[in-house]
Structure 1
Amino acid sequence: MHKRSIIIAALVATATGTYAQQQQKLNIEQATVFLHGAQLTSTAKVRLQKGENEFLFTNVAGDINTQSLSVNAGNGVVVESAVFQNNYLVSEVLSPRAREIKDSIDIVSNARSLVTDRITTITEQVAVLQANRKVGGENTGLSVAELTKMLDLVNTRMEGYLNQKHKQEEQQKKMDEYIARLRKQLDEENKKGYQPGGQLLVKFYAKDAIANDVTITYTVPNAGWSPTYDIRVEDISKPANLFYKANVYQNSGVKWDNVRLTLSTGDPNQGADAPVIAPWYLSFYHPAVGYKSKEALLNTYAVGAAPRTETYEDKEAGKDMAWKPSTMNEYVAVDNSGINTSFDIDLPYTIMNDGKQHIVAIKKYDVPATYRYYAVPRLDKDAFLQAQVTNWEDLNIIPGQTNIYYEGTYVGQGYIDVRNTTDTLTFSLGRDKKIVVRREQDKKLRSVKNIGSNVRETFAYTISVRNTRKDVVNIVIQDQLPVSNDKDIVIEDKETGSAELEEATGILKWTLSLKPNESKSLPFGYTVKYPKGRQVSGLR
């Protein structure tokens, strides 16, 4: 194009306000992860010309909540519009795991093609030998010795080729089976609903040419975290160590690479509006007459079903750094001044876009605790060590699973549920075989008597407990007496010994202190009176 024409075109473009679209990759700096969902904060450095500018930002999560989208430019730059769109340039959307499986299928398929070529080559060689053998057999000009020698050579080579062909076919069969397994695994991976990334088309207006910082925030639904706790007790004379961790997952469509994490106990999906109570009208029930299908019944009962929980493979996350629990508190700030508690983690983390749970360390607490043993021999013959903690509200605990370690040994899993906890939070530290508890029925005092129109059945039990540890232990033992809901069934002659009896529930409670190698016996009993000819449910 002539130089003058170029100048004229540029002047026309300036006069008409046209502009070229620029493409810019966003850097995800911050992720505030809620129990369900997350808010991502991204930044970019843009160079704006005077007038209107259009930028296509990439590295944007998919399926964002467009109502939460916020674009902040500052310095007098006006954000005219911001439109989220899918990235249609991607021909095939696969998760990293699915891509890995597909690559494996391609590699094995290519190797299979080579095996197929070898089989074809060997088949052609066998055909040539068969033709030579036929020609040799028809050639009467050869002596018997020469003909025999030639046929032996042909047969030897043919046997070798057939063996090679058999081996190649066996290898091909194994490859086919492996490809079939990979394809099945790929189908399962694709069913997980991998979320691809998107793009953000933003128009700016600048009074003058300027280099400017842009901050973009939005929320995504496909992310979240759940708490998990490691509880370690080395000795019952020392405080319990509570390690607060989080299982963080995200399938937002983009990788969170080296981002600052904030974990919040909030849930923006619950909505911000308070409920409004409506009138409560009563009316008589009129049962509907008609047939209800099996499917309808199943749907009816499914309404109140508890939500299903998913388990994921636990994996360490982060930038190749070793987590030292004792120093984690230096990098975590806890903010509980608002409605929800948040944990600001200064250490950078990388969370892959794979939907799997990644462990993030939050905080370590040294928790003063009192220890006791607890046993219900009617239900379980073992004694359980428990740690009781007061002022637990300061720990910012929410319900979650626990991993229990006692005296340096993993003893099992438990669950913390603070929703029904009042002043004392109790952690179960597992079974202790050194506290021996037995519950036996006293057959000498067991009796069944018919008196008048009633039957009187008497039951007697003895609980024995022994401390085989070298230290004094405190233990609470519970059992129970039956409670009647019928006036014709009477519980009488209650023998509770030194136990506390809760009349409404029939629960017996013994609180004991046992010295090393000390044993105690706890007898109790009761009599049930009921009319002759009747059978009492739940008595045995």
Structure 2
Amino acid sequence: MIKKLLLIACLVMGSKIIVHADDPQKVISQVQKVTLFLNGAQVTRTSIVSIPAGNSTLVFENISPNIDVQSIQVKGAGNFTILAVKHEMNYLKQQDKQKQVEALQVQQKILRDKLALLNASLVINQEEYNMLVKNQTITGQNASLDVQKLKQALDFQTARLTENKKKEQLINNQVAEVGKQLRQYERQVADILKSKGNTDATSDILVTVSAKAPVLSAFSLTYLVNNASWYPTYDIRAKDVNSPIAISYKANVTQQSGEDWKNIKLTLSTGNPSVSGGKPELKPYFLNYNMYYADKQVSITKVSGKVTGANDRQALPGVTVKVKGTSIGTVTNTTGDFSLQLPAGNPVLEFSYIGYETQELPVTSPVMYATLQPSARQLNEVAVVAYSSERIQMKQELQDRVAGIQIRGKSTLSSVPVEVQQTENQTNIEFNIANPYTIPSDGKQYSVAINEVSTNATYQYYVAPKLSTDVFLTAQLTDWNKYNFLSGEANLFFEDTFIGKSLIDTHATGDTLNLSLGVDKNIVVTRTLQKDMTAKQALSSNRKEIRDWLITVKNRKSQPAALLVEDQIPVSQNSGIDVETQEISGAKLDKETGRLSYSLAVNPHEEKKLRIKYQVKYPKNQGVIVD
């Protein structure tokens, strides 16, 4: 009997040991490294895990819910075998977050009730004041005036009115204090709701392992996440046309992956650079019967506008605005306004903002207005209130930035020079940032310095008067490929003055990069039609039209200017249309496109004139729009 009891006890203890070994082991891991692409990021987590003998399951918690499951990679060092890797969503964390919000809401209700009582006290106090002011009759109409009673009444009324005003001031102070506490609670609720981004859950990675003996192992988890991106911006500074150009290369980083990246090693990957441009470009001017250029070949090189929310029509600050398929982007200011330089072609703008659906709009006008719809993934009405409070907080931070205050956040920005090592891979360039960075999952923009470049440049002014008489200062950089620039918007500073924004165009395959440094109003260019002639011949079946354009260049500067002027003559695409070039003032002519190029050296206060004259002959029974 005793032997049987011992056997049963051993079986029970053995079964308990097995159950304990099979229980999932929760593992705390830290984000160690992030490789951030133009869209998306690769996250690497590390952890030291004690693995028991036998089969066991390791649960890596608090992982982003927005991961690409197929991208999960798990590595571990030690004498054990990884049997399986599984991904599961975890909605329990959201319940904890909701409990915290509900506890804060209870405190908010107490404060709102107190505020209601204070407001009621103000109303009662005001009624007492009105009664004291109106009740000023001391005696009847026929009664004699008692000076003593009058003095007593006046003293009483003065004392009561003074006490009334003191009480009103006290209540107002209490109202202000309660309002301040309410705003603090609203911000706390907003912080809890955004602490993991606009997500309803976290996720777990379950790793099943088998070990013959207990072992201590260093694990590494790698996976891809969405809702993370970066785009470049530049500060271009030129002292004068005889000095080198200084270029500050910066990355604007944002992420809403659902997990905070704290003190991580950050690597920026360029991916594939995109095409963009800053100044207007001439297109071939082809002629054919009944052709009409309705748009006058006007290209949109800059777009501005405003972004609002569809639910309340209020401006949205901090919205990310990007040219789809490129690295060009910006963010809206405190009033929801934005301005962005555009590349050539038919660009599409992409608007994204925390708590709202992403929207894409083609650029059809220099002025655009976007209205974003609230995301269906918002938690509840509390989330809407929280985002409203968060919008106020973000607006204040943006105002601080405009005022010149450096927003340090959580040690994400630093005035210490950033050490960056560039690595050229087969298909992209990587910038390895030596200093650790913290990028919260809040959808805000964080600036990361990449490089500081000082290089010699060749300066030249440019104008295409048919499109615009504005004269652009341009700079040509040679051997620019070694800097690994991407297409992006640039802030321009010339002669220590901010002169506007432009675009760095990295699409060129040559060794020279053209930078547009903005408009110089001290060089004036005009283009006027001298004479519009239509010659008809009675015995001829043809009609002749002549265009005679005069381009005048005036240099108002105190220094000489090298100016490139580009114009064009029409090009015939029909054998029945004949274009005769009569005068081009020595321009270089591209016969395929009709482009005319003038390289001028204009002395201070000098004026030069260029003449473009051509004749178009076509059958008189056909219609040709010459210009």
So what's the TM-score if we normalise by structure 1?
0.72
Change (3 A) 1:413 1:337: same
Give the Cα separation in 2 of the matches to 1:346 and 1:7.
57
Q: Specify the alignment match of 2:227 in structure 1.
A: 222
**Structure label with greater radius of gyration:** 1
Q: Specify the alignment match of 1:69 in structure 2.
A: 72
Change (3 A) 1:316 1:228: farther
Could you report, residue by residue, the CA deviation over 1:270-291 in whole angstroms, capped at 9, with x for unpaired residues?
A: xxxxxxxxxxxxxxxxxxxxxx
Shift of 1:426: 0.8
**Aligned mate of 1:263, from 268, 278, 287:** 268
Listed as ranges, the matches of 1:304-323 within 5 Å are 307-310=348-351, 319=411, 321-323=413-415
Shift of 1:342: 1.0
Give the Cα separation in 1 of the matches to 2:208 and 2:466.
72
Change (3 A) 1:200 1:236: same
Larger deviation, residues 34-43 vs 452-461: 452-461
Q: Is 1:499–2:587 an aligned residue pair?
A: yes
Larger deviation, residues 117-126 vs 64-73: 117-126
Q: Specify the alignment match of 1:368 in structure 2.
A: 456
Q: What amino acid is aligned across from residue 309 of structure 1 in structure 2?
A: E
Change (3 A) 1:234 1:527: same
Instruction: Report percent identity of matched pairs.
Output: 32
Change (3 A) 1:202 1:440: same
C-alpha contact 2:21 2:52 (8 A) present in aligned 1: no
Q: Specify the alignment match of 1:403 in structure 2.
A: 491
Q: Is 1:59–2:62 an aligned residue pair?
A: yes
Change (3 A) 1:197 1:236: farther
C-alpha contact 2:78 2:216 (8 A) present in aligned 1: no
Shift of 1:432: 1.1
Shift of 1:234: 2.0
Give the Cα separation in 2 of the matches to 1:107 and 1:501.
78
Q: What amino acid is aligned across from residue 36 of structure 1 in structure 2?
A: N
Q: What amino acid is aligned across from residue 245 of structure 2 in structure 1?
A: A
Change (3 A) 1:338 1:125: closer
Give the Cα separation in 2 of the matches to 1:107 and 1:230.
47
SS in 1 for 2:481: helix
Q: What amino acid is aligned across from residue 90 of structure 2 in structure 1?
A: N
Shift of 1:343: 1.1
- Which sections of structure 2, spanning at least 5 residues, go unmatched? 1-5, 128-151, 273-344, 354-397, 402-406
Q: What amino acid is aligned across from residue 475 of structure 1 in structure 2?
A: L
Listed as ranges, the matches of 1:144-163 within 5 Å are none
C-alpha contact 1:317 1:359 (8 A) present in aligned 2: no
Shift of 1:219: 1.1
C-alpha contact 1:316 1:360 (8 A) present in aligned 2: no
Shift of 1:523: 2.0
Shift of 1:118: 4.7
Shift of 1:405: 2.0
SS in 1 for 2:616: strand
**Aligned mate of 2:536, from 419, 429, 450:** 450
Aligned-residue CA RMSD in angstroms? 4.7
Q: Specify the alignment match of 2:310 in structure 1.
A: none
Q: Is 1:516–2:586 an aligned residue pair?
A: no
Shift of 1:10: 4.5
Q: Specify the alignment match of 2:214 in structure 1.
A: 209
Number of equivalences: 468
Q: Specify the alignment match of 2:26 in structure 1.
A: 23
Shift of 1:506: 1.9
Q: What amino acid is aligned across from residue 428 of structure 1 in structure 2?
A: S
Change (3 A) 1:125 1:82: same
Q: Is 1:464–2:552 an aligned residue pair?
A: yes
So what's the TM-score if we normalise by structure 2?
0.63
Q: What amino acid is aligned across from residue 521 of structure 2 in structure 1?
A: K
- Which sections of structure 1, spanning at least 5 residues, go unmatched? 128-148, 268-303
Could you report, residue by residue, the CA deviation over 1:307-330 in whole angstroms, capped at 9, with x for unpaired residues?
A: 532367797766165335xx44xx
Shift of 1:524: 2.3
Q: Specify the alignment match of 2:48 in structure 1.
A: 45
Q: What amino acid is aligned across from residue 114 of structure 1 in structure 2?
A: K
Give the Cα separation in 1 of the matches to 2:25 and 2:261.
24
Listed as ranges, the matches of 1:119-518 within 5 Å are 194-195=198-199, 196-266=201-271, 307-310=348-351, 319=411, 321-323=413-415, 327-328=417-418, 331-419=419-507, 421-443=509-531, 446-452=532-538, 453=540, 454-518=542-606
* Stretches (4+) displaced over 6 A: 4-8, 102-107, 119-127, 311-318
Shift of 1:466: 2.8
